[in-house]
């Protein structure tokens, strides 16, 4: 089975997030990894386009009850009808998680992935979490500086 | 996006169920349809093997928290950690459902698919449901007599 | 913790189903059992009304994203936003399941409860399931003839 | 239907978190609000004990497949078997959310509640989230300074 990397990020993202997501999708596909994403717009669409451009497998996991609003670059669509509980499904399906950009939905995926605890969680941009005193968390996600850096961290865990 | 057909059936199935599932998988892959299944043993493994043998895309949707027990012929694994609530995810991801053989889990998928109501539900073997008086249901699933018949019914709904 | 009994049944039910559900709700509340139901109309509303009339605790587990459409006799509402995957939550929350009447949603709950396998599943009216040859299932749900009979079967399993 | 307040927080919490949770539970019960919580140890147990001591209704929503590990002060247990996807069920069942203390699971509940967007989300202690430049989020949760302050914010939204 190919290595599966979840790529998460906002529907409403910055141009830089979008560029990062597309590049992460390309690099993952080139490395033969399968991309799991939310299958919608913004970062989700950009990573799907990047993976698709390189002939990679990319699966969208949708929150609603229809595939009609899914991104056209997906290889397959999982229609969960679970609302945002689908974020947990994305996280459990991943051998590594890359989060690009900041939003509440993205933060929920980072948090669920860290809660799961057995896979690398990498952030590229996005929000910062500190403890009650403003200090970094001992067990924080891994910050990446570039798409290549994020993908390298994720694939390091491929056995 | 390719047409997606869920193929459901027991873990502990008869040799005939297994043969039917393998043939359904082959026929769906030959027709260019994507197979969605539970990703485990029995009917799930047989349909995955059939689709894989024809180079088709086949996605397993697992109930547990790991891909370690997933069938090796799957193209990708969705690890839901939702238990049997994952049956609803399989049903919602499908453009048509083919149920092969009888078990309580299979029956739950038939019932959830009929409850959804917007897709064809086809049975090949398996259990029989009647109303309180022993009469057939007005709105029952479509019974198929052969794997080819089941696949034809499912693909009839491809737009 | 009180014994929890899930009572399932159609939204669109017969007058007899409704009368049965109300009586089952009353009897469970009188016995100090908590009722878990789908929190909607039909059998769900009738069992809630029956339990409420006897001062019992009755919890509705809704499929949508709002409590606005929940039955007014509920003590509390669990809003799942999981669609019909919520049927699995009802089943897992139960120490026993009583199904009243026939529908695809109700059948999915019977099937999920039998698939779980560790709790008594009792039917009062509703559909009949047979094997491929029209014979009764060896492992079928327990048929009850009256509300009192159904409740007695359910509470037999109270430790 | 009574107003329902979800109270979230770590399994492994500080003594102050525990004291805060117990007091929040007491105050909510005194106000006639129903408490929804995760039903486990730490903050979950403390809020249940506080609500129970005042005769309040408190419902635990468990991630696993059994009620055996549920807190004994719960009025009822919803056994989801959904893993941490149950965090979304807690959030959707709430008319307001109070998060006490910091952990990845707690952060996922804050994030899912903010993603939902229609209910007040109040924090009492716990982690701090900032944007990429270290600035506060425009749309952050409401920070409370005491249990009474947290409960007042939550009940302000009771119609």
Q: How confident is the model at residue A50 (pLDDT cuts 50, 70, 90)?
A: very high
Contact between chains at B83 and C85 (C-beta distance less than 8 A): no
Q: Using alpha carbons, select from A87, A37, A79 the residue that is nearest to residue A58.
A: A37
pLDDT value for A152: 98
Residues in chain A: 159
Model ipTM?
0.97
Tally Cβ neighbours within 10 Å of residue C131.
14
Tally Cβ neighbours within 10 Å of residue D66.
12
CB D64 within 8 Å of CB D78: no
Tokens of C133: 């040859």
Q: How confident is the model at residue D159 (pLDDT cuts 50, 70, 90)?
A: confident
CB B34 within 8 Å of CB B25: no
Averaged pLDDT of chain B: 97
CA distance A82 to chain C (A): 4
Q: Is D136 helix (H, G, I), strand (E, B) or coil?
A: strand
Q: Domains of chain A by range and CATH?
A: 4-155 (3.40.50.450)
Hey, which chains touch A, using 3+ CB pairs under 8 Å? Answer: B, C, D
Contact between chains at A129 and D129 (C-beta distance less than 8 A): yes
Which residues of chain D does B82 touch, with a Cβ-Cβ cutoff of 8 Å? Answer: 81-83, 85
Tokens of D64: 């696993």
Comparing A41-45, A155-159, B82-86, the range with the smallest average pLDDT is A155-159
What is the percent of chain B with per-residue pLDDT over 70, rounded to a whole number?
Answer: 100
CA distance D48 to chain B (A): 26
pLDDT value for C157: 79
Q: Span C117-145, mean pLDDT?
A: 95
Tally Cβ neighbours within 10 Å of residue C130.
16
Q: Span D57-81, mean pLDDT?
A: 98
pLDDT higher than threshold 90 for residue A74 = yes
Residues D4-13: tens digit of each pLDDT: 999 999 999 9
Measured between CB atoms, does B80 come within 8 Å of chain A? yes
B38-56 CB burial, b ≥16 within 10 A, e <16: bbbebbbbbbbbbbbeeeb
Measured between CB atoms, does A112 come within 8 Å of chain D? yes
pLDDT higher than threshold 80 for residue B159 = no
Measured between CB atoms, does B53 come within 8 Å of chain D? no
Q: Span C46-60, mean pLDDT?
A: 98
Measured between CB atoms, does D85 come within 8 Å of chain B? yes
pLDDT higher than threshold 90 for residue C95 = yes
pLDDT higher than threshold 90 for residue A158 = no
Measured between CB atoms, does A88 come within 8 Å of chain C? no
To which residue do tokens 């605890």 refer?
A: A117
Q: How confident is the model at residue C158 (pLDDT cuts 50, 70, 90)?
A: confident
Supply the DSSP symbol for D47.
Answer: H
Averaged pLDDT of chain A: 97
Contact between chains at D102 and A132 (C-beta distance less than 8 A): yes
Instruction: Tell me how far apart the alpha carbons of residues B157 and B145 are, in angstroms, rounded to a whole number.
Output: 18
pLDDT value for C159: 72
Which residues of chain B does C105 touch, with a Cβ-Cβ cutoff of 8 Å? Answer: 111, 115
pLDDT value for B158: 86
Number of residue pairs across A and C with CB atoms under 8 Å?
Answer: 15
pLDDT value for B3: 97
Measured between CB atoms, does A69 come within 8 Å of chain B? no
Contact between chains at D125 and A132 (C-beta distance less than 8 A): yes
Residues A107-130: tens digit of each pLDDT: 999 999 999 999 999 999 999 999
Residues B37-91: tens digit of each pLDDT: 999 999 999 999 999 999 999 999 999 999 999 999 999 999 999 999 999 999 9
What is the percent of chain A with per-residue pLDDT over 90, rounded to a whole number?
Answer: 95
Contact between chains at B85 and D82 (C-beta distance less than 8 A): yes
Instruction: Tell me how far apart the alpha carbons of residues C37 and C55 are, in angstroms, rounded to a whole number.
Output: 16
């Amino acid at each position: 089975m190919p290595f599966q990397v979840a790529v998460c990020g906002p529907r409403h993202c910055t141009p830089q997030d979008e560029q990062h997501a597309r590049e992460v999708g390309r690099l993952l596909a080139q490395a033969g990894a399968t991309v799991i994403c939310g299958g919608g717009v913004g970062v989700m669409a950009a990573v799907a386009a990047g993976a698709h451009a390189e002939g990679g497998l990319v699966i969208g996991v949708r929150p609603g009850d229809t595939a009609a609003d899914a991104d056209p670059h997906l290889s397959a669509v999982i229609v969960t009808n679970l609302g945002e509980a689908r974020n947990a499904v994305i996280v459990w399906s991943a051998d590594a998680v890359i989060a690009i950009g900041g939003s509440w939905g993205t933060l929920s995926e980072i948090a669920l992935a860290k809660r799961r605890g057995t896979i690398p969680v990498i952030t590229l941009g996005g929000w910062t979490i500190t403890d009650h005193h403003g200090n970094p968390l001992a067990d924080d996600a891994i910050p990446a500086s570039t798409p290549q850096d994020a993908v390298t961290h994720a694939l390091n865990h491929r056995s």
